[in-house]
Amino acid sequence: MEIAGPERAPFNEIIARYLKAVGGPREVMSDPEARYWGARVSEHSLDPLGEARLDGIGLDEWLRRSKAAA
C-alpha cells in the first residue's frame, strides 16, 4: 500500500518547509545531479505509482500538529 499527502511539492521544498518549521538554520538548495539512494531523481520519482491512500492533512498542518505533540 502506498501512502501520500494530499499535496505535491518538489522534495527540496518539502525539506525547506520542514526545516523552517523546526527552526533549522540551513538553506535548502536543489541539485539536479543529486542522487537519492544512488538513483537519479526526476520531478515525479517520489510520487506514488497508481492508486495511493491520500491523507487529508497537508504538510503545514502535519508540521503544526507534530510540533504541538513534541
Alpha-carbon distances of 31 from 11, 39, 41, 63, 68, rounded to whole Å: 11, 13, 10, 25, 32
Calculate what percentage of the chain has a pLDDT beyond 90. 10
Q: What is the pTM of this model?
A: 0.70
Segments making up each domain of the chain, as ranges: 3-69
- List the grid coordinates of 23: 527552526
Cβ–Cβ under 8 Å, residues 60 and 7: no
Q: What is the mean pLDDT of residues 57-62?
A: 88
